[in-house]
Amino acid sequence: MRRRWSWLCCATWTTILFLYLPIGVLILFSFNASRLSASWQGFTFDWYRLLANDRSLITAALNSCFIAVVSTGLALCLGVSGVLGLEGLRARQQDVIDSAIMLPLVIPEVMMGVALMLFFVTIRMPLTLATVIIGHVVFNVPLVMVIVRSRLKKLDRRLTEAARDLGASRWQVFRRVTEPLLRPAIVGAGLIAFTVSLDDFIVTFFVAGPGATTLPLKVYSMIKAGITPEINALSTMVVVASMSLVGLSLLLQRKFV
């Protein structure tokens, strides 16, 4: 039994190293004084200072943050409303809609990006920040609904029934009972949606037009000229921000479950 347990621990740590060792190397070489990532020549913060003075990079970062904030807000409004609306349907209808909700999460992002691009071209809508926001809302709404719906299923229905018996209206039940209980899941879903939107490249690549360059697109354009410590520094900032948001989301969901 102990031998089997040791093998499982070894496999776990091997998997963790396989996933995170490349990220650790990337973070380490973002502080490399050499412009060539192949050799280490000392410790420096020069590449981070260079990023702070890059106007095009700052513009791309602001575009990414704006798109992530707006798309997350819209996804939360639509997703939470959709989850609450599902509760009034029959079980078979809920199963059908649940399957439809999962579809955008399982189909390849390339297919979704191409489909959205063809849709915008068909309706003759110019590719701008608005089309990127719409594209991000499309894949964020199902994500929000899955997270919030899983939390809603765990709630004690007797609480809402008691509130109704005491004379509370539907809005009062939602505001005083349902929303406070769902708040951790809503906040967690918002953080996850923000992270996914901030990091998305494939869908954004197909639906972004001139002036709608996001941070992932900027990184991709920089990589074409070769991997430099500046790219490592930028990637490090994105990785740290993404992992922090995901960790905060998981912490909130576990704390209040």
99: buried, middle or exposed (CB in 10 Å: 19+, 13-18, 0-12)? exposed
Q: Are residues 172 and 138 located together in one domain of the fold? A: yes
Residue whose token pair is 């819209």: 74
pLDDT of residue 255: 59
Considering its fold, how many domains does the chain have in total? 2
Q: Are residues 24 and 144 located together in one domain of the fold? A: no
Q: Are residues 5 and 110 located together in one domain of the fold? A: no
Q: Are residues 21 and 55 located together in one domain of the fold? A: no
94: buried, middle or exposed (CB in 10 Å: 19+, 13-18, 0-12)? middle
206 in a domain, yes or no? yes
Domain that holds residue 212: 48-256
41 in a domain, yes or no? no
pLDDT of residue 72: 94
36 in a domain, yes or no? no
Q: Are residues 1 and 106 located together in one domain of the fold? A: no
Q: Are residues 57 and 9 located together in one domain of the fold? A: no
Q: Are residues 178 and 236 located together in one domain of the fold? A: yes
Write the DSSP assignment of 160-212 as a string of letters.
Answer: HHHHHHTT--HHHHIIIIIHHHHHHHHHHHHHHHHHHHHH--HHHHHH--TT-
172 in a domain, yes or no? yes
Q: Are residues 79 and 2 located together in one domain of the fold? A: no
In the predicted model, residues of the chain with pLDDT beneath 50 are none
Rounded to whole angstroms, what are the CA distances from 206 to 108, 132, 241? 13, 9, 24
134 in a domain, yes or no? yes
Q: Are residues 139 and 82 located together in one domain of the fold? A: yes
| CATH code at position 132 | 1.10.3720.10
90 in a domain, yes or no? yes
Q: At what angle do helices 179-199 and 129-152 cross, to 10 degrees?
A: 140
Phi and psi angles of residue 32, each rounded to the nearest 5 degrees, phi first = -80, 130
Bridge partners of 190?
A: none
Cα separation, 190 vs 246, whole angstroms: 10
Q: Collapsing DSSP states into helix, strand and coil, what is residue 32?
A: strand
225 in a domain, yes or no? yes
pLDDT of residue 2: 57
Residue whose token pair is 């969901």: 253
pLDDT of residue 225: 67
pLDDT of residue 94: 77
Cβ(163)–Cβ(178) below 8 Å: no
Q: Are residues 145 and 116 located together in one domain of the fold? A: yes
Whether pTM exceeds 0.95: no
pLDDT of residue 257: 53
Q: Are residues 24 and 100 located together in one domain of the fold? A: no
pLDDT of residue 36: 67
Q: Are residues 167 and 215 located together in one domain of the fold? A: yes
pLDDT of residue 108: 85
pLDDT of residue 244: 82
